Amino acid sequence: MDPEGSCVQDDPDIKVMMAGSTLRKVKSRSWKKQRHFRLLEDGMTIWYKSRWAGKGHSTFSVTEVEAVREGHQSEVLLSIAEEFPADLCFTLVFHGRQGNLDLVADSPEEAQAWIQGVRKLIHKVQTMDEKERLDQWVWDWFQKADKNKDGKMNFKEVRKLLKMMNVDMNEDHALHLFTMADKSESGSLEIEQFVHFYKILTQRDEVWKVFQDYSGDGEKLMLEELENFLMMGQQEGERSAQLAQELIDSYEPSESAQEQGAMSLDGFQKYLCSQEGSIFKPEQRDLHQDMSQPLSHYFISSSHNTYLLEDQLRGQSSLEAYIQALKRGCRCVEVDCWDGSDGEPIVYHGHTLTSKILFKDVISTVKEYAFKASDFPVILSLENHCGVEQQTIMAEHLSQILGDMLLTTVLDGQVPQQLPSPQELKGKILLKAKKIGGLEDCIDETLTDEVSDEEEANGDAESPSAEDPPAESLTENDKVKPRVKSKSKLSKELSDLVLYCKSVHFHGFEQARLHGKCYEMSSFSESKAKRLAKEAGTDFVQYNTRQLSRIYPSGLRTDSSNYNPQDMWNVGCQIVALNFQTAGLEMDLSDGLFRQNGGCGYVLKPDFMRDGNTQFSPEKPEERPDYKPLRLSIQVISGQQLPKVNQKEGSIVDPLVRVEIYGVPQDQAKEETSHINNNGFNPVWNETLNFILHTPELTLVRFVVEDYDKASRNDFIGQFTLPFTCIQAGYRHIHLLSKDGTPIPPSSIFVNISISELT
């Protein structure tokens, strides 16, 4: 059985890849080494090794590759452009945070074969359905375990393979299944027989039980039985009748069942494992929210110090970091600008050893990638440390490179009373920076307010700020007066480009209520924002209905760690900037919130956070006029094919599931199941976890699977986070993501969710 089908193998580009090529792998100007690359027989795995190194080799799967860039499309290849022409060069870009692979071929023809070949394989991966994916997964494992490459596996090899697949199965049971699958009684399984063995192995008793509950004859679900399941089991309501027929048409593999208008167990399991059977409401994944409200009415996906790929002190500044953030739907990126030695402004983390990149290159990169993931506006948050001359050069670069993309005039020629909407600003880039005067009067050129945004934190308890050197290197004198004198003047050219995002000092909510303009926005360090949220929650919520606020991580987070963004969203802060390069809980929450609405980077706030007279306070949710608490009950039934955490031979996970609730302070909660010993393959928990939600509209639910360890911290296996408002009730699969936020098929957990009003 070859899941690739022969058509791909006959393709001339794929033939070149299978024959193999010597390509140069390039890491820097000085590190360029020849490696032998080839596509293995499975048509999915790319294998490479150095010519003289003994046995060592590396492999990766085409499923890990997101795109192929042609020519000098990475910083590394640009740096060697003189040496190797563009038609020999290409870059493989991986999903998640894995670094690029830059390659140089010996001839343009060979480069083209690899570029087109990998693209065809990526397309094939993207168009596979769940069943083909699973077959591919099984096929991959078979290839890995068939050590002598004879296309057969004896019982010993199968046992070993099960261990690799995280299955700890009692020997008798495994042997019994093996014998059933070994129809030719040869003592070994060929690939088709192995797939059959695997199917018997993965029969899902818990799915079968649900099927039995609704099926009259235990063999199939007739149309009205399926309708009943959708109504009662899945809480689909009115649409159950229409949906039943659609599901049979989409998922029932047996034609005879389809003709009877019935669904078999196979079709039922296929539906439950599909996107429609997943926990996320399909209609909320797509762009569905009203995008015509003022910008201040949305949560906006935002990145901090976007140019960094690693930590804040020595890390590399890179254009790739902008590409990664923008491709993830980030809509507010940060650019730290300093005077460059040759008159060209540079971008890096000031007063540190992080490497430097050119401002104009950052702007070109933003232009190219700004609207790949979303059409809605991108805000360039400028941390400006340049003198007037180089500010004017920045203004020229912005205007020349971005052209029409850059918003340079107010929308209807009027001074706005409220901010424009994402809809009106589609395809536009907005500049956030200091401005001389207001939109009303662009006249006076000098500005005495000299401090850059994040330096305000110097007066804050958690000095140093994100933009400053460590406190011990500051003299008392420095702390009081701004260090960079040339900052006291703003270039009129740069100032004129600032329209709806004018950076101002925050002088209290009262001042903002009386005199604040909708286009004025302030930045708050995480500790200041947290303090204001606790002390004046309602004021903060009201302020955020009309003006934008930007929150940034404490300057002490030199390791690029993140703070919990939920505390800031609870009071309606829109631009909650996180270190996108750092995987973990906080980015899971951000990815979870912005997974809805087409991943466009804008999520409409709940209505009680958009009304200027709102009295909502996250500290007192029960005082809201339309307060309706809900009960969320999650029966964690089973897990499927969880990945191994520890690659040591013979180690198998002891999984547990934890459900974490993030929302207003009263809603924060965690509950977990017990752990199951030695079973990552099909653990069954059947445990119910209960939660009460006081403000469900602001709640995020995070499902985490961990490998239990009594001696040390549990190891992370996978997670999935989503807004409570996007959860589908009923029997659902949760398709797990890696620490990096990328899918790890076919790992999932199977749950039954019920949501009811708290009476």
Residues annotated as catalytic are: 304, 349
Tally of residues, the chain:
759
Which amino acid appears at position 513 of this protein?
R
Name the residue among 575, 568, 645, 569 with its Cα closest to residue 606: 569
| DSSP letter assigned to residue 371 | T
Rounded to whole angstroms, the Cα distance separating 328 from 243 reads 32
Contact 378, 331 (CB under 8 A): yes
Contact 133, 745 (CB under 8 A): yes
Instruction: List Cβ<8 Å contacts ≥24 apart for 437-444.
Output: 438/502, 438/517, 438/519, 438/520, 439/410, 439/415, 439/499, 439/502, 439/517, 439/519, 440/415, 442/495, 442/496
Q: Is 607 annotated in some ligand binding site?
A: no
CA 621 to CA 293: how far, in whole Å? 25
Q: Does the annotation flag 305 for ligand binding?
A: yes
To the question of whether residue 87 is assigned a binding role by annotation, the answer is: no
Write the DSSP assignment of 1-38 as a string of letters. --TTHHHHHTSHHHHHHHH-EEEEEESSSS-EEEEEEE
- Distance CA(89)–CA(685), nearest Å, equals 51
Spatial CA neighbour of 630 closest among 538, 520, 467, 754: 754
519 marked as part of a ligand binding site: no
Query: Which single residue is written with the structure tokens 């700004």?
Result: 370
Q: Is 399 annotated as a binding residue?
A: no
Q: Is 671 assigned to a binding site? A: no
Strand partners, 334: 381
696 and 630 Cβ atoms separated by less than 8 Å: yes
CA distance 502 to 494: 12
Complete DSSP assignment for 591-640: HHHTTSGGG-SEEEPPGGGT-TT----TT-GGGSTT---EEEEEEEEEEE
Q: Cα 496–501–503 angle (5° rounding)?
A: 90
Q: Is 76 helix (H, G, I), strand (E, B) or coil?
A: helix
- With left for phi above 0 and alpha for psi between -120 and 50, is residue 385 left, alpha or beta? alpha
Question: How far apart, in whole angstroms, are the C-alpha atoms of residue 395 and residue 400?
Answer: 9
441 labeled part of a ligand binding site: no
If you write DSSP's letter for every residue of 523-535 in order, what string do you get? EEEHHHHHHHHHH
Q: Residue 126 and residue 115: Cα distance in Å, rounded?
A: 17
| In contact, 374 and 328? CB cutoff 8 Å | no
Contacts of 57 (CB under 8 A, 6+ apart): 47, 48, 49
The annotation status of 336 as a binding-site residue, yes or no, is yes
Q: Is 383 annotated as a binding residue?
A: yes
Q: How far is CA 312 from the centre of its chain?
A: 21
652 is in an annotated binding site: yes
Place of tokens 């004046």: 536
Q: Was 432 annotated as part of a binding site?
A: yes
709 is in an annotated binding site: yes
- H-helix or E-strand spanning residue 326: helix 319-327
What is d(CA 298, CA 187) in angstroms, rounded to the nearest whole number? 63
Q: Are 311 and 559 in contact (CB under 8 A)?
A: yes
Q: For 327-351, give the DSSP string.
A: HTT--EEEEEEE--TTS--EES-TT
Query: Which residues lie below 8 Å from residue 263, measured CB to CB, with a gap of 6+?
Result: 220, 221, 226, 247, 248, 251, 252, 257, 271
Which residues are known binding-site members for substrate? 432, 434, 523, 550
Which residues are known binding-site members? 305, 334, 336, 383, 432, 434, 523, 550, 652, 654, 678, 707-709
Which residues are known binding-site members for Ca(2+)? 305, 334, 336, 383, 652, 654, 678, 707-709
